[in-house]
Amino acid sequence: MGKKLASKVLLIGWDAADWKVINPLMDAGEMPALESIVNNGVMGNLATLEPPFSPMLWSSIATGKRPDKHGILGFTEPDPSGGGVRPVSGTSRKVKAIWNVLTQKGYKTNVVGWWPSHPAEPINGVCVSNFYQRANKGIEKGWKMLPGTVHPQKYAETLADLRVHPDELTEAHILPFIPKAAQVDQDQDKRIGMISKIIADAASIQSAATWTMENTEWDFMAVYFDAIDHFGHGFMKFHPPQLPGLPDDLFDKYKDVIVGGYKYHDMMLERLLKMAGEDTTVILISDHGFHSDHLRPLSLPKEPAAPALEHRHYGIFAMKGPHVRKDERIYGATLLDITPTLLTMFGLPYGEDMDGKPLIQAFDKEVEVSRIPSWEKVEGNAGTHPKGIKEDPYAAKAAMDQLIELGYIEDPGENVQKAVDKTIQESQYNLARVYIGSNRYEEAIPILEKLIEKEPEEIRFLQRLAVCFQNTSKIEKCKQLLVGIRDILDKNYEERKQKALEELEKNKDLKKEEKEKIRTDINSRVKKQYPNLFLMEGSILLSENKPKDALELFKKAEEASPALPNLYLQIGRCYLQTKKFVDAERAFKKTLSLDGDSAHAHHGLAVAYLRQKRYEESIDSALTAIGLIYHFPFAHYHLGEALVAIGEYKSAAEAFEVCLTMAPNISKARNWLIKIYEEHLGASDKAKEVANRPIAVKKEEELETQGDEEVELSERASEHREKLQEKSQGEIIIVSGLPRSGTSMMMQMLDKGGVAIFTDKVREADDSNPKGYYEHEAVKKLVRDKKWLKDANGKAVKVIAQLLMQLPPRFNYKIIFMERDINEVIISQQKMLEREGKAKSKDYPIGLEMAFNNTLDKVKIWINRNYNAEILYVPYASVIANPKAEISNINKFLGAQLDEQKMLDAVDTKLYRNKLRKA
């Protein structure tokens, strides 16, 4: 066991709590309890998971694992007894939660209200399930607590008496939330009843938590409140500023509910903090946020769990206690990090099968972090349920009713089998979304394809399958799918239009001329535009390196829906591809004006600044992106590039190393690290020699004389060289140079010398190249299509200098680069264009010399940065004047396996037709 960072920990969950609402309230002094945590500890965003469904997320928080591992895949599940469907149960969780691990290690642990936690688990402490507070009948009908709600049973009666029923509330409880409650017609408007239920549920959880804290010994306590989420779904639409189309009277009555809800939670928090004491580490979190501004959806689609579209990607994280930093912000936290952090605080290892990491940046001392393969393999009593435990069907029915009321699920009705099938379908769809959210697109594809077999016109299934195809380079399949989606949308539009016409004909109250006017209006409507489809079609074109075509589609999407999420993000990427970096900057800033927490927009802005050589601004934007989403390898990569540019080599190396821990295949990061370690951080030649030896033969005195840090840097460089070789998919010989610099002749020489040539012979010999071009059409598409390179493995291929920088780092390259006087190159190109009738004999392309020199400079920079590429510069004039010497050099460069005499026979001095005469 490592050193403990905390003797007691209180973990509080506020479902859907959001800094966007909290910060103004703290600034106004209206949430003093939470402000005391922030001022005396750390705060930050907590990134959520996909899909943002609460029972899945809170199970991930409690286990440190994604839903595909812990097994909770939605709000409901088939009832094992064959009785249809039931709310998701704690018995369906397949792995240990934090309280099970702590029970196993002898810690006293209390859990109150966690979702899902029914039936209560037999942990070493008190467990109060998420059915504890539910009241679905009037108090006059009795309110028995359901079996299995409390463990141990001896506390059940006491805790049952502490619950608060909605019917027990008075106007004094309601007025802080609805000051004008007296104006509400409760026969027509049931919202006061909804608020009463939310307030009472939270009060019940608070009662159970405070009693348990006061009357039991505990080392760890977890308390979960769902009230803020319920306030949000019911009343966020009334939160200022007033949404368009919202009636003034409703806004006036309910505009204070959200603020009231947060202040209510702060009051409860104050009591919890006082009872916990100063020696307790307190962590306050939410599983996701809740849109409270212009991003609030004005309407929700008719699909399961649609209310989750109101959720924001970032929840809250705040922590204070012994050894916690004070008044600081931490970045990059995700809800998967909570359990690894808790285990580390108790001096315990976290599982290698967990998907999160300890938040060691939150502490003011060095943290000892250890790992074990999995806590699932550790035997002993963990306070888990025995297999085969059954859930009370009446409890399940009560919880189902609330989920239906909140809009998370549809009423299953009388058709039991249909409800079961629907539940299985949704859980599989959620699993596919889990895979998509963790970039495991290949695993999502078969699940979505199976769902589409049963529901071939379900747009949400089709759209996510298209995303998977796009991200796995199955572009043609993606395009076909989008055509199908468009057809379905068109058909649905026509059906709605026909239905409108039929309804019109049935209307007997309208006069003939009124009907005719409406009919004309219906028939003249332009087919609805599909902005999301334009966005996806444009993103495919972007991936094919067709930014101009993509931009046209993005502009169409903008016309149809200017506030479409990610629209300006894609427009910015178009401008990056076309090197219009100022326009890209403008587009990314537009994205951030709509959603300031878009990590991808901050990253795009970092790249736009980087390319404009505004390095400090690039660093700031990259750090902001990383703060929002820590697991963002390219943000770390571009941060590294910007740090190199300002000479911060050590920090740059750290950024590139982090990038590679997340994405080991980003070979250009390895190239940068080799350069940094060998050229900028002072590794001497002797240190490099020591680093490259097998460890067994490194002499102790050499290590001492070189200095540990210097040898370590060299070892790191060596390690990255080895990784580049390990990941290399082969070696390709590249013949390059400016067009008309002798590349075709060099290809002929290699062909004669015994090198396999990658050519399709589509371009035939002509007067400009009477012995052939030795080209391949695929090379022209190198910018957007690199798949063909595997077919060139072990062969020689001609690639013009302007395309060299597009070669991916997954191959090793031996580059023979033809050098020729630039004026000769320009004249030769001009003569060739004249022969083809594409230029006049008196034309001379002014400005080409500068452009060509720039290209040659870029090639040298690229070669210097790519340690998977070796280059041999071959002067064209020398090949003509002294072919034997140049051929010998070429043969040595390529491994001395070529037939030099046959190569010599391929040199034709008569083709040196545009030689400049020296004065």
CATH number of this structure's domain 729-911, picked from the four choices 2.40.50.140, 3.40.50.300, 3.30.1490.190, 3.40.50.1820: 3.40.50.300
Confidence category of residue 683, pLDDT binned at 50, 70, 90: low
Residue listed under structure tokens 């039931």: 86
What are the residues facing 93 on neighbouring strands? none
Q: Tens digit of pLDDT for each residue in 744-766? A: 889 999 999 999 999 988 877 77
Residue 639's closest CA among 628, 623, 624?
623
CATH class of this structure's domain 8-393: alpha beta
Distance of CA 541 to the CA centre of its chain: 21
Residue 441 has pLDDT above 50, yes or no: yes
Please, where in the chain does CATH 3.40.720.10 lie?
Answer: 8-393
Residue 702 has pLDDT above 60, yes or no: no
Torsion of CA 884, 889, 890, 895, to 10 degrees: 120
Residue 212's closest CA among 225, 221, 200, 224?
221
- Give the pLDDT mean for 115-131: 96
The pTM assigned to this predicted structure is 0.80
Residue 84 CA to residue 71 CA, distance in Å, equals: 19
Residue 330's closest CA among 21, 46, 621, 37?
46
Residue 126's closest CA among 93, 150, 91?
150
The mean pLDDT of the chain is: 87
Q: Tens digit of pLDDT for each residue in 349-385? A: 999 999 999 999 999 988 989 999 999 999 999 999 9
Quick check: helix, strand or coil at residue 843? coil
What pLDDT does 393 receive? 40
What is the amino acid identity at position 556?
K
Exposure of 136 by Cβ count < 10 A (0-12 exposed, 13-18 middle, 19+ buried)? middle
Q: Tens digit of pLDDT for each residue in 589-628? A: 999 998 888 999 999 999 999 999 999 999 999 999 998 8
Residue 562 CA to residue 295 CA, distance in Å, equals: 12
Please, where in the chain does CATH 3.40.50.300 lie?
Answer: 729-911
**Pairing state of beta strands 350-351 and 371-372?**
parallel
Please, where in the chain does CATH 1.25.40.10 lie?
Answer: 562-717
CATH number of this structure's domain 562-717, picked from the four choices 1.10.3660.10, 1.25.10.10, 1.25.40.10, 1.10.10.10: 1.25.40.10
Residue 814's closest CA among 874, 878, 858, 767?
874
Three-state SS for 169-217 is CCHHHHCCCCCCHHHCCCCCCCHHHHHHHHHHHHHHHHHHHHHHHHHCC
Measured CA to CA in angstroms, residue 816 lies from 671, 798, 800 at distances of: 21, 10, 11
What pLDDT does 917 receive? 52
- Give the pLDDT mean for 80-102: 88
Query: Looking at per-residue confidence, does 9 or 826 come out higher?
Result: 9
- Give the pLDDT mean for 49-66: 97
Residue 390 has pLDDT above 60, yes or no: no
What pLDDT does 114 receive? 97
Least-confidence region, from 336-350, 574-588, 831-845, 901-915: 831-845
Q: Tens digit of pLDDT for each residue in 190-232? A: 999 999 999 999 999 999 999 999 999 999 999 999 999 999 9
> DSSP E strands: which ranges in 74-125?
76-78, 85-87, 109-112
